[in-house]
Structure 1
Amino acid sequence: MAQRSVAVVGSGYMGGGIAQVLALGGAKVALADVSQEIAEKNLERLIGEAERFVADGLFPADAVQRLQEQLWAAPSIEEAVADASYIEEAVPEILDIKHGTLRRISDAAPADAVIGSNTSTILIAKLAEAVENPGRFLGVHFSNPAPFIPGVEVIPHAGTTPETVEIAREIVTLTGKKAAVVKDVTGFVLNRLQYALFHEAAQVVEQGIASAEDVDTLVRTTFGFRLPFFGPFAIADMAGLDVYSFCYASLQTSFPERFATPAILQDLVDEGKLGTKSGAGFLDIPAERTEDLVAYRNKAYVAMAGLLKEMGPSPAEESAT
């Protein structure tokens, strides 16, 4: 991809991390904030972070030099976005601040520049109200810490053009990450799933069923152990959708509403599509690939166990013992 001129507006922890990965991906990145002084101070911080990341083997050996060449602190938001083909807004999660910032960006940026917001909570359509030509606007939600989490939510609103979505995908690919396109609904997908788990975990602790430490242990060492390799639908297909249906029925004896069987699951079971063992399920993995899938799964889990042993317990785990 030809070098892109990119601006990141908001040079704090998230915006700075996004600027790092864009610059390391080859983009020329203008970093902007409420003042040039703040942008310059955060640029110094990002270079210092990169030096430590290189020393720890987390960034490539030439990362500092590349960031020094590719990142610059702009005197203002307007100057940062003046020649940018893509702008990432990463200011605080306060609607008035985001609206004011997006107005400044859309007034000063080229008319065809794509604008992405790193919001994790605010509806994209609501933010789009402040953008001139909102078809070029969408959510591009990186996760914390931005340099190291590989997934990015791409969230078009109803008026976002298909071309804008494609450019956002290209930007995510430029950073070496994976894009998942989701609809503009409250919580999007990432936080809707994350907070659903936390809600159940909090209730378990509140009700005295298990301690916070034991809940964390179970999540890390059981179903959470699978999640780096397989999403919830692949896991369900491998377990057997009939098994999932039975487990839902069991959960309903105590939690009839909260654990009502999803219609999408029951429909598949009724059709005899039970996952990998039947050759059809949520992901329709062919039955002849089951042996390869199981072999990959087993190898992956052993490799994960080896990595965890090599890394040793995290400070969070050590403090719980």
Structure 2
Amino acid sequence: MSNNVENTEKQLQFAVVGSGYMGGGIAQVLALGGARVALSDVSAEIAAKNYERLLVESDQFVADGLFPAGATETLRKNLWAAKDIEEAVANADFIEEAVPEVLEIKHATLARISAAARPDAIIGSNTSTISIADLAVPVINPERFLGVHFSNPSPFIPGVEIIPHAETSSATVGAARDMVHSTGKQTAVVKDVTGFVLNRLQYALFHEAAQLVEQGIATADDVDTLVRTTFGFRLPFFGPFAIADMAGLDVYDFCYKSLQTGFPERFATPKILKDLVDAGKLGTKTGAGFLNVPAERTAELIAYRNKAYVAMSALLEDLGPAPIH
């Protein structure tokens, strides 16, 4: 499929390199957000095949009420399959690399992208594990390169991790965030450290859960049930710091001390928590904590919390249990 659709002057030009499950989903997100998106892969045939797959997938998503009516027509207008990387990136304002998580493959791909792209084009990588600084090595003008990490399934997960490396310019970070926000998603900017933030948190939970099962303390099903129906039930609405502030940081401090009777090193009290408690900043009840929610908004916050949890219960009842048993 050639790039033969007339573009408006203001329409942003994007390219996604790697048209598989993640790259294809990202391309859908960008194209439905109004950009003109080139899709490329190791061959023109694979890119074209995945282009057609994304249209079929979109039809099903529309039928299921997951994509808006007319989404497939929007994709046909905005999405196109390029013959190669060079054609895909030639006129792009933003390029997202989404090839396999192998440093050598990514280096070779990023070298081709940066050689063929405009010198001012922003280049993002969808890596979830590899250092952005390490990935930046073959990139010409590395100040325009950063991590832009979508989560699976990218059309439906609203958060995107933005990861600059030491040489990434602030203008690049701002432009990348604006691009993501234009698709209706939210961003968080984090530092270029091992695991970034998303996977560090995700694997910390899994690590503790796996140990509980290995030690015969609970079954995998029981652990999943507790996570889904207790603290995990809160997480769509409140992150860990908001939850801690609402519970009371003095309560958290006490619970850490209790945990330390069995696990003195693993559950050592974080210094950041101890410092707040020592300063009398105990969360929402004092109007100061991690997030400094004013004490006078506590009633409003509790009302929102209760409404949110009841709405979540109703949603889960409407959806029914996940088909995993």
Could you say which TM-score interval applies, normalised by the shorter chain?
over 0.9
Letter of the 1:120 counterpart: S
In structure 2, distance between residues paired with 1:215 and 1:119: 29
1:2 Cα deviation from its structure 2 partner: 3.5
> Does residue 1:202 correspond to 2:210, yes or no?
yes
In structure 1, distance between residues paired with 2:249 and 2:11: 47
Q: Name the structure 2 match of 1:262.
A: 270
In structure 2, distance between residues paired with 1:186 and 1:87: 23
CA RMSD of aligned residues (A): 0.7
In structure 2, distance between residues paired with 1:133 and 1:123: 17
Q: Name the structure 1 match of 2:229.
A: 221
In structure 2, distance between residues paired with 1:166 and 1:298: 35
> Does residue 1:158 correspond to 2:166, yes or no?
yes
1:208 Cα deviation from its structure 2 partner: 0.2
Q: Name the structure 2 match of 1:95.
A: 103
> Does residue 1:177 correspond to 2:185, yes or no?
yes
1:1-321 to 2 correspondences below 5 Å: 2-316=10-324, 319=325
In structure 2, distance between residues paired with 1:282 and 1:186: 24
Structure 2 portions without partners, runs of 5+: 1-8
Letter of the 2:104 counterpart: D
1:3 Cα deviation from its structure 2 partner: 1.6
1:130 Cα deviation from its structure 2 partner: 1.2
In structure 2, distance between residues paired with 1:210 and 1:3: 54
Letter of the 2:235 counterpart: L
Extract structure 1 runs of 4+ deviating beyond 6 A.
Answer: none
In structure 2, distance between residues paired with 1:92 and 1:171: 23
In structure 1, distance between residues paired with 2:293 and 2:134: 39
User: What SS does the corresponding residue of 1:301 show, helix, strand or coil?
Assistant: helix
Q: TM-score, normalised by structure 2?
A: 0.97
Q: TM-score, normalised by structure 1?
A: 0.98
User: What SS does the corresponding residue of 2:149 show, helix, strand or coil?
Assistant: strand
1:253 Cα deviation from its structure 2 partner: 0.4
In structure 2, distance between residues paired with 1:66 and 1:280: 47
In structure 2, distance between residues paired with 1:279 and 1:117: 40
Aligned residues: 317
Letter of the 2:106 counterpart: K
In structure 2, distance between residues paired with 1:20 and 1:290: 40
Letter of the 2:29 counterpart: V
Letter of the 1:301 counterpart: Y
Letter of the 1:53 counterpart: F
1:174 Cα deviation from its structure 2 partner: 1.7
CA deviation profile, 1:244-273 (whole Å, cap 9, x unmatched): 000000000010000000000000000000
1:25 Cα deviation from its structure 2 partner: 0.2
